[in-house]
Amino acid sequence: MTHLSRGVQFATLGLLVLSAQSAHADAIDGNWCSDGGRRLSIVGPTVVTPGGAQLEGSYSRHAFVYTAPASEPDGGQEVTMRLLNDTAVQIQFGSGTAKIQTWHRCTATTS
């Protein structure tokens, strides 16, 4: 009976791990990279911008909006992001006529 209980425990643990991974993947939180090497990070309502500024924005599970700091190339402009899928996000720096870019989750690098 103990052997069966241990199997159930491992199965439950496996489901919890998969659920946690799925929950994170279905959220805009994380590290995002452009094809040109720019990076930004989102954790809840906090963003670290491509220029390195840490500030608060408007967060929802699948979208994020903030105003770029004056010291950055798009300073004073609204930056809008929308999660496309687990690995891609659309980002628009500026008004509705600004080009929409697709960024991807950053991959781990080693040095």
Mean pLDDT of 79-107: 94
What's the pLDDT score for residue 111? 56
What domains are defined for the chain?
27-105 (2.40.128)
CA distances (Å), origin 67, targets 10, 48, 51, 107:
46, 12, 13, 26
Residue 90 has pLDDT above 50, yes or no: yes
The pTM of this model reads 0.73
Give the per-residue pLDDT at 26. 85
The answer for residues whose C-beta is within 8 angstroms of residue 99's C-beta and 6 or more apart is: 92
pLDDT given at position 14: 40
The DSSP bridge pattern shows strands 88-93 and 39-43 to be: unpaired
Could you report the per-residue pLDDT of 30-75, keeping only the tens digit for each? 999 999 999 999 999 999 999 999 999 999 999 999 999 999 988 9
